[in-house]
């Protein structure tokens, strides 16, 4: 399990790769599909190791949740803080 990164709680702190992987999972959620790693690799055309590392970080910080070998969006609040 990767070491938690406090900065990842802010969506703007995600790396470009983490954002890309998250958006791939989010696009599947629109169609009520929970993708597997191989699906995300195919969608993003990123190396599987890169995808797995990004997924681990995103799960570790609650942005994504696993359901068996599939990934779904974690609980979120898109409200703005002022």
Q: How confident is the model over 48-55, as a mean pLDDT?
A: 98
For a pLDDT cut of 70, what percent of the chain falls above it?
77
> Looking at residue 80, what is its pLDDT?
35
The per-residue b/e assignment along 25-48, b for 16 or more CB within 10 angstroms, e otherwise, is: beebeeeeebbeeebbbebbebee
- For the chain, domains (ranges, CATH) are 6-73 (1.10.10.10)
> Residue 13's pLDDT is what?
75
pLDDT for position 79: 42
**Residue 61 has which token pair?**
């910080």
Q: Which residues contact 37 (CB under 8 A, 6 or more apart)?
A: 48, 51, 52, 55, 69, 71
pLDDT tier for residue 14 given thresholds of 50, 70 and 90 = confident
Encoding tokens for residue 65? 């949740």
């Amino acid at each position: 399990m990767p070491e938690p990164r406090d900065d990842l709680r802010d969506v703007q702190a995600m790396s470009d790769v983490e954002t890309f992987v998250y958006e791939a999972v989010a696009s599947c959620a629109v169609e009520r599909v929970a993708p597997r790693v191989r699906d995300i690799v195919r969608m993003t055309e990123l190396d599987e190791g890169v995808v797995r590392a990004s997924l681990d970080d995103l799960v570790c910080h609650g942005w994504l949740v696993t359901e068996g070998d599939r990934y779904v969006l974690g609980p979120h609040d898109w409200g703005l803080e002022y």
